[in-house]
Structure formats: C-alpha cells, structure tokens
C-alpha cells in the first residue's frame, strides 16, 4: 500500500475496478499553510493580494488560461480518446465549466487547496460516480482532524459538518505547492505599502511644504489667508515669490529620491518568482518578444506555471469517483501550443509522407472540413 493509502480515513483497503467511494476525496489535508501562518505570521488575504497588479495579472494568466482549456478523457491502455462524462465538461450544470475550473485553479494558486461539493450522484447500478458538483470557496471550508491531528476525519462548510461520502461530501484538490498567500505574504504586503505610497504621491505630488515667518508671529486668520493665497497661486503658475519675512521649507522626499518606481519594479519581479511565472508576462522586466520565442515562452509557461495546477486538477478528476479506473483525464494543450501555419504544414507533410496521417485527418485537424 502507498503512503496516501495508509493515511486515508475510512476508505476501504481494496476496491473492485468499478466500485466507487467518494471518501476517496478525504485524503490527508495539507497543513503547511497553517504552519506558515502560525510560525511566521507571513500569510495575507486574497483580497489584499488581488490589489497588487502583479498578483492580479499572474492570477488572470495562470487561472484564466487553465479555465479556458478543454478537458479530454483517454483510455490508459491504448491512448484512445473516449467520450467524457458530463461532469468533466460541465461540473456544475448551473454555470460554465470555464468558471468552475478557473476558480478551482485560483484557490490552488492562492491557498494550495480547492474544494467542490457533490450535488448529484449516479445510482449504484450506473456506477455510483459523481454526477455533478459545485465549487466551494476555500474560505468556507475547515478540516476536522482526529485526536492527534494527523489525519482528516471530516470537513465543515460554513461551520457545519458535511458527509464524508455521497451527496454533500467534498471533493478535495491538493496542490503541489504551498499557496501564494502563505509563501509570499510579506512580499505581497510590501507591494501593498508601495501601492499606498504611489497613491499618496499621486494625491500630493510634491514634498510637504512649510511657510515660515521670519518676523513676528502672525495671527491665525492671516496665516489662513496666506496659505489660501499660496494654494491659489500654485494652481495658476509654478513660479513663486516670497517677501523677506516669509521662508519656504520642504519636508520628506519625492518619489524619485525614494526610488519608488525602482522599488515597485523589484517587488513585481519578486512576485513573478513567487508565482512561478516568467517576469515578462507581468511586465516585470523588459524583453524583445518575437513570434518564435513567444511559442517557446508559452511552453515555458505551461511547464513552470500551469503544470503544477493542471496536474492537481487532472489527477483528482481522474480518480474512480469521476471516471472508470481504466481511463484518465487530461487537459488538451494542442491549441494553446499551436505553432505557426508553416510549422504545422511541415509537420503534416512529414506525418503524411510516413503514413501517420491522411489528408482527411490533416483537414480535420485544421478545421478545413465543412
């Protein structure tokens, strides 16, 4: 038995090939996020993180891309494409599948875990698998541990325990990495402080100015009139004239002295590293992009940014409570990694010459058959 099997709570030791138990969703809960929060105090909130442009952009690229990609089902033994059950193409009948998968990817991205709640099951005679499920935000779910906190024995949704199997139970997605909110909490908070500083200087673009009387003390009414006159004059022209008994002083630093732009660029670069996304996708560094290296960068994006989340989703919905154990679910990346027309023509020419693809198959692949 594997390690995960030894840690399962309430799951049978052996199952027939088509016997389905939704308790398969009840796997050891990743507690690394709680560890980071309690030991380092470094976690931040999703709402705060989404106020940082670099994080928002990374979330849009990674999670939005995953949500837009099609899922397909294949036979493990032959690799043949088979018709997928409805839940793969539309987990929740009330909303588009792209939304469900995008939100699932987002929770894996931010927290390292994601949840669906089973809303419909097929009858045992029809396989007993999950028929429909709805996305449940991470913030609404809390695990219930055993007496020594070594395994999960259940879950609460909005503070209420839910079943461990069947309708109402949770389908748990485990990420391959700790969530961004835990691993980059301090960097996100630093980015927020820099955004606040940028907003402050947008409202008050000059350092604080102090008008000081070098003569006698002025009454409050005269001081008020002097400040109003100064404000009005500055709105009309940048050149100022002061009498001998008034002196101008400045306090603080301007954005250039503070190197505010450089600091924001550095934080954006650090966040691109934390998100596992090439920096130029977030405009955190300047590069010269061409069509050929754009394709290479897309492949790099899949390998280093999308792959961990894709794998977490693919492998969970490939378990027997979704599809037969002889099948597997994979995201179709062909269109996303599609080469230029010339590159595709060269590949098709070779495949046709060696008999691997017919002209009709090439036409179908290129959507040339009406």
Say whether both 162 and 222 belong to one domain. no
For the question of whether the overall pTM of this predicted structure is more than 0.75, the answer is no
Backbone dihedral angles phi then psi of residue 76, each to the nearest 5 degrees: -65, -40
Say whether both 164 and 29 belong to one domain. yes
Say whether both 226 and 332 belong to one domain. no
Say whether both 216 and 272 belong to one domain. no
In whole angstroms, give the CA distance from residue 345 to residue 336. Answer: 17
**Tens digits of residue pLDDT in 13-69:** 334 444 555 444 444 444 444 433 333 445 788 998 998 989 999 999 999 999 999
Q: Is residue 200 part of a domain?
A: no
**Tens digits of residue pLDDT in 192-232:** 888 877 766 666 555 567 667 777 777 788 778 877 887 77
Q: Which domain holds residue 360?
A: 341-370
**Tens digits of residue pLDDT in 69-113:** 999 999 988 888 899 899 999 999 999 999 999 999 999 999 999
The total domain count for the chain is 3
DSSP state of 13: S
Say whether both 98 and 46 belong to one domain. yes
Say whether both 81 and 161 belong to one domain. yes
């Amino acid at each position: 038995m594997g390690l995960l099997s030894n840690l399962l709570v309430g799951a049978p030791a052996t199952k027939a090939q088509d016997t389905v138990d939704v308790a398969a969703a009840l796997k050891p809960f990743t507690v690394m996020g709680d560890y980071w929060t309690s030991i380092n105090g470094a976690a931040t909130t999703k709402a705060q993180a989404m106020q940082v442009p670099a994080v928002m952009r990374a979330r849009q690229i990674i999670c939005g891309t995953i949500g837009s990609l099609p899922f397909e089902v294949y036979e493990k033994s032959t690799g043949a494409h088979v018709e997928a059950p409805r839940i793969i193409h539309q987990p929740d009948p009330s909303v588009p599948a792209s939304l469900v998968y995008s939100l699932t990817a987002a929770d894996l991205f931010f927290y390292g875990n994601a949840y669906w709640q089973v809303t419909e099951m097929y009858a045992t005679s029809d396989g007993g698998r999950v028929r429909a499920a709805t996305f449940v935000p991470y913030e609404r779910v809390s695990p219930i541990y055993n007496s020594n906190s070594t395994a999960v024995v259940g879950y609460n949704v909005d503070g209420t325990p839910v079943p461990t199997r069947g309708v109402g139970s949770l389908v748990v997605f485990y990420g391959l990495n700790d969530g961004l909110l835990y691993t980059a909490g301090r960097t996100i908070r630093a980015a927020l402080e820099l955004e606040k500083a940028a907003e402050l200087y947008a409202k008050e673009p000059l350092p604080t100015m102090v008008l000081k009387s070098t003569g006698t003390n002025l009454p409050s009414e005269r001081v008020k009139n002097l400040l109003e006159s100064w404000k009005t004059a500055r709105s009309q022209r940048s050149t100022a004239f002061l009498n001998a008994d008034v002196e101008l002083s400045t306090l603080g630093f301007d954005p250039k002295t503070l190197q505010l732009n450089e600091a924001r660029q550095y934080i954006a670069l650090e966040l691109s590293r934390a998100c596992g996304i090439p920096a130029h996708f977030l405009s955190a560094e300047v590069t010269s992009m061409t069509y050929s290296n754009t394709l290479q960068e897309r492949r790099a994006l899949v390998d280093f940014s999308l792959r961990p989340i894709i794998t977490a989703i693919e492998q969970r919905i490939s378990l027997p409570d979704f599809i037969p154990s002889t099948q597997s679910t994979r995201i179709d990346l062909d269109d996303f990694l599609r080469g230029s027309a010339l590159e595709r023509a060269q590949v098709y020419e070779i495949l046709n010459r060696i008999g691997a693809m017919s002209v009709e198959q090439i036409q179908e692949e290129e959507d040339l058959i009406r």
